[in-house]
Structures are given as C-alpha cells and as structure tokens.
C-alpha cells in the first residue's frame, strides 16, 4: 500500500465520500474540501494533523513555495524529491508493507541487516489498536485488539499516533526499552496540541497552521535552537540499531520523528507488527525536557520544559494560565491572526502515566471578538482581564475550600464544636459530595470572564460570578444534606451547624458581596 499513489484515506467532502492517497488528501485539506476523515479516531487527530503540517511545511520550504493550496501532483512530486534527497530513491519510505526489513517503510526505520532484524524484532501486535498509544488500565476502559487486522488505514493512523506521541513504556524485546519521543518532557510526559482555531474545519486549521509554521521557521534556525536548514526531516529513512541517537544539529526544524523500532509485515495474509526495544532515545535531547521548539507545545517557565498535563486534565485554572501566559510561555500556535474575528482556543492531549494513559483530555473555548481584542490588544486591557481571571479562580477556590468543604465535614460529623478533616473515610465522602459543585462551575468560568469586558468596576464584575458560585455551592450542600448518613439524634443539629458554617464562611471571606440582614442566621 503506497501512500503516494494508493487511495488509502476515506474522506467525507462537501460533494460526498471519496477515497484519496496522501497527496490528494493534502490537496483537499489545502482547499478546505475535507469535512472529516472517516477512519480517524479522536485521540489520533492531533498526531495526524501535526504530521500533515510538518510534511506540508517541509515540502513547501524545499520547493520554495509558501501557499498550502497546491495540487495533488505538486504534493506527490515534492514528497518524492524530499525523500530522494534524504537517501531513498523509491517510494518504499511511503509504503506501509515492505518485505525487505533493510529498506525503509512508512514511519518504520530499516534494520542494519536481516540478521539484526531476525535477532532483535519480535511479534508485538496483530491489530492496529494494539499497536496504538491508547493503553488503558487493565484493558477495562477501551478494549484493545478489536480492530480489523487488514484495515490499512487503521494501521496507518496507529503508526502515526505511536511514532508522534508515544512515551516510555517498559522493556521491549532485544534487551532495550520502549522509549518515547523527543518532543515530550520525559518518558512519562505528554505531547499536547495547544493553539488558536480560526474555524472548526480541519482544512482551515491545516492551512492556518502550515502558514504559521513557515513564519516560525526562521526562529527555529537561530540560537538557542541547533537545527540546520538542510537537516534531515524524514527520520525513518536511515537504518536505526537502537544504540545511537540523532543529534539535533543534524535535523531540520520540521523533522518528523519516530520513537520506536517497529516493522509491519504480512504473515499468513495478515498484517502483524514486529518491534524491538532500544538502548537509547532516537533523538539526543533528554536534557532539553521536550523544549524543542514545537509550535503546538507551551513551555513551563519553572522547569523550562514542555508542558506535561496532569491527570486532572485541562482545568479552568490550567487553561487560564495557558491563555494568559501565567507560568507558561505560550505555544506559537496560540497567537491568532490579525484578520480573525473571534475564534477558538483549543487544548488537547492524551495524558500519560507510568505504563498507562490517564485519558484523552480536550478543551475548546469560544473567544468572542471583544475578549480577543482584550487578550491580544493593548496591554492595559490584557492586564485587567488577567487580574480578573485570577480573582475569578481564587473566588471559586475560596468557595470550595473555605465555605463548602468545612460545611460538608461538619454535616457528616454531626455538627461538632470543631471539625476534624484528617479522617480518611469522611474525607472520601466529602470529595464525592463536592463533585457536583466543581463539575458545574468549571464550564461556566470563561463564559463569565468574557462578560467582564464591559464592566469597568472589578467588584461589580466579580459579583455575578460570586452569586453563581454561591448558588451552586448551596445546591450542593442541600443535596448532601438530603443524602448524608447521620445519627438520628444529631440530624437537626448537623444540618443547622453546616448551614451556619457555610454562611459564616461567606461573610468572613466575601464581605464585599454578602449583605447581613436580621433574617439571616
């Protein structure tokens, strides 16, 4: 299956479903003729998008062009020229199955000899989803090894997903480790895609991101980055024995990396993946902590390493910090074009853990025109919005930890004179009882924040947010009051005491918003 000539991709277009080879797909994307890719799973979309953008950017640079709106023939010829310049005279580097393991196959590095292949490579996966990066705890969340083994498109997407986003995962065959990519902060990190969407169509995002890549290229060719303008791009073409790493100064800024020694072969008319571990990472960049200039990856200022998203995912606080650059250097793709009116801030990642994944996390925030102008316009407007966004997070945190949680502890403990917060069984119940409050305020935070643009006074801007949080917290406490296990003799006391603690905390922590009357406790 040759990606440059065979129609492997199932594409929904405005004119109906079609099948396309890779050059035809790039042409469709450039002209915004793609509604969706039928076989692409959500957790694979980011890896495939990044792959297409880097490939298109590399071809455009090598051919001296700048527009991503090109014909299929242009992309096919450009990819072949790029491949030949990197040492592969035929299309084997774009063929999914190549019988000779000493020749490159698509995103599959060749072995130095057939003897090395037979010695190091062992059977690894018989279905594409077993090869993919989506490892689930005890195989419960998403059953593995379900996909059809002969589905070339599924194998292709699994390969790109693996080689673009995989991290460290135990010991492999051949005595080495299953290592991860270079554009990631450690083997247990994650590779995010953070940026600005001018629209939700994949073709619009492709054209915009390729253009940003080309503008960003000169930055990556200057210090502190060590890249070479004529460096390698298709890293799976030369043999890799797993013992030596590629130096960054031998690579082009748009290099498309591979992390694992993997080969797909036809065994008894079925596709099977063979794999081997490696003694070292493919790219010698451990000390850089994933800070390799990837334009979709924010940098953590404290560590100067690539963003690693925690198991909690994109919380409002993390999204707020990424948007306003509080503790993070924003990704290049976060800067919107001057011509944009509104748009979407998007952040997504497959969160990794030690030997597992902690779930695919995705957040897309609509940013209307006025907030966008405040974010990227004059410094005074941005500074005020930054300050208000922090106050909004602090208000939600105080409502959670200083008002609602103490009231819930008192409720379950029967209304004691002083609550005890270190009882594990009670703390677990409180954690469960408080979830509705957290789940309800999280999606409302940015909707409130964008409304503050037209309210000049900070206290008045925060008042609607406080009122909404107080209502959510009160509803959460009322729901807990109805469901909590209590001793019958202390039930009334527990309920009254919990409400008293809740209101007293509001009065203490939010005096500017709480008006005390004789009707209130």
Specify the pLDDT at position 49: 97
| Residue 318 tokens, joined | 């993390």
Phi/psi of residue 518, nearest 5 degrees: -70, -20
425 Cβ neighbours under 8 A, 6+ residues apart? none
What average pLDDT score do residues 335-358 get?
77
Cα(450)–Cα(465) distance, integer angstroms: 12
- Tell me if 506 sits within 8 A of 403, measured CB to CB: yes
CA angle, 191 then 357 then 200, to 5°: 50
- Is residue 9's pLDDT more than 90? yes
- Determine if residue 230 is left, alpha or beta; phi over 0 gives left, psi from -120 to 50 gives alpha, anything else beta: alpha
DSSP states of 236-259: TSS---SS--B-GGGEEEEEE---
Looking at residue 490, its pLDDT comes to 66
Instruction: Evaluate if residue 190 carries a pLDDT over 90.
Output: no
pLDDT at residue 503 tops 60: yes
Distance, in Å, from the CA atom of 69 to the CA atom of 78, rounded to the nearest integer, reads: 14
Q: How big, in percent rounded to 5, are the helix, strand and coil portions of the chain?
A: 45, 15, 40
Q: What is the pLDDT of residue 375?
A: 87
pLDDT of residue 338: 63
Classified as helix, coil or strand, 376 is helix
94-103, 257-266, 407-416, 449-458: segment of lowest average pLDDT: 407-416
Q: Which two tokens stand for residue 394?
A: 């602090």
Q: Tell me which range, 17-21, 237-241, 365-369, is most confidently predicted by mean pLDDT.
A: 17-21
Token reading at 339: 């011509």
Pairwise CA distance, residues 358 & 343, whole Å: 29
CA distances from 368 to 239, 365, 375 (A): 50, 10, 11
Q: Rounded CA gap, 484 and 429, in Å?
A: 9
pLDDT for 517: 47
How far apart CA 395 and CA 391 sit, in angstroms, is: 6
Mean pLDDT of the chain: 88
- Residue holding tokens 């396309």? 20
Mean pLDDT of 124-139: 71
pLDDT at 364 over 50: yes
Nearest to 161 by CA among 130, 199, 126, 187: 130
Q: What is the pLDDT of residue 354?
A: 63
Two structure tokens written together for 137: 């705890």
* Adjacent-strand bridge partners of 143: none
* Arithmetic mean of pLDDT, 369-382: 87
Among 59-63, 380-384, 408-412, the minimum mean pLDDT is found in 408-412
Q: What 3-state DSSP class applies to 419?
A: coil
Q: What does the alpha-carbon distance between residue 459 and residue 463 come to, in Å, rounded to a whole number?
A: 6
Which fold, 378-509?
Topoisomerase I; Chain A, domain 4 (1.10.132)
* Non-local CB neighbours of 94 within 8 Å, separated by 6+ positions: 2, 3, 4, 22, 79, 83, 106
What number is the average pLDDT over the span 103-120? 93
Please check the confidence at residue 149 and state whether its pLDDT lies above 70.
Answer: no
The residue extents of the domains of the chain are 9-366, 378-509
pLDDT at 71 over 50: yes
State how far the Cα of 401 lies from the Cα of 430, in Å rounded to an integer: 11
């Amino acid at each position: 299956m040759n990606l440059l000539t065979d129609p492997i991709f199932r594409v929904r277009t405005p004119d109906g479903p079609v099948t396309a080879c890779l050059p035809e797909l790039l042409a469709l994307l450039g002209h915004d003729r793609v509604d969706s890719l039928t076989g692409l799973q959500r957790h694979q979309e980011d890896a495939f998008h990044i792959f297409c953008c880097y490939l298109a950017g590399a071809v455009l640079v090598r051919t001296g062009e700048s527009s991503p709106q090109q014909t299929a023939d242009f992309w096919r010829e450009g990819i072949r020229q790029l491949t030949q310049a990197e040492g592969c005279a035929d299309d084997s580097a774009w063929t999914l199955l190549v019988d000779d393991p000493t020749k490159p196959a698509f995103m599959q590095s060749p072995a130095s000899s057939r003897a090395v292949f037979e010695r190091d490579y062992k059977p690894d996966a018989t279905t594409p989803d077993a090869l993919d990066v989506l490892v689930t705890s005890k195989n419960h969340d998403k059953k593995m090894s379900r996909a059809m083994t002969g589905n070339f498109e599924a194998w292709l997407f699994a390969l790109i997903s693996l080689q673009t986003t995989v991290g460290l995962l135990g010991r492999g065959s051949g005595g080495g480790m299953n290592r991860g990519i270079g554009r990631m902060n450690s083997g247990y990190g994650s590779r995010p895609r953070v940026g600005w969407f001018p629209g939700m169509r994949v073709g619009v995002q492709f054209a915009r991101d390729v253009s940003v890549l080309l503008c960003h290229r000169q930055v990556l060719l200057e210090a502190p980055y060590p890249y070479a303008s004529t460096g390698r791009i298709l890293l799976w073409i030369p043999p890799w024995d797993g013992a030596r790493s590629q130096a960054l100064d031998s690579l082009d800024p748009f290099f498309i990396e591979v992390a694992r020694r993997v080969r797909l072969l036809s065994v008894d008319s079925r596709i099977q993946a063979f794999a081997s571990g490696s003694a070292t990472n493919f790219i010698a960049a451990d000390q850089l902590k994933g800070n390799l200039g990837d334009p979709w990856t924010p940098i953590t200022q404290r560590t100067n390493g690539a963003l690693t998203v925690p198991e909690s995912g994109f919380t409002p606080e993390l999204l707020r910090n990424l948007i306003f650059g509080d503790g993070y250097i924003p990704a290049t793709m976060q800067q919107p074009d001057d011509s944009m009116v509104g748009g979407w801030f998007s952040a997504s990642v497959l969160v990794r853990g030690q030997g597992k994944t902690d779930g695919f996390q995705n957040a897309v925030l609509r940013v209307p025109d006025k907030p966008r102008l405040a974010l990227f316009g004059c410094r005074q407007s941005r500074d005020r919005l930054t300050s208000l966004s922090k106050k909004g997070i602090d208000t939600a945190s105080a409502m959670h930890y200083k008002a609602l949680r103490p009231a819930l502890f008192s409720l379950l403990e029967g209304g004691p004179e002083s609550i005890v917060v270190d009882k594990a069984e009670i703390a677990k119940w409180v954690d469960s009882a408080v979830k509705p409050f957290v789940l309800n305020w999280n999606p409302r935070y940015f909707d409130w924040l964008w409304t503050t643009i037209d309210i000049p006074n900070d206290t008045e801007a925060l008042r609607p947010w406080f009122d909404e949080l107080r209502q959510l917290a009160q509803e959460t406490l009322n729901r807990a009051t109805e469901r909590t296990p209590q001793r019958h003799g202390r039930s009334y006391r527990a309920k009254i005491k919990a409400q008293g603690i809740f209101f007293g905390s509001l009065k203490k922590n939010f005096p500017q918003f709480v008006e005390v009357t004789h009707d209130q406790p």
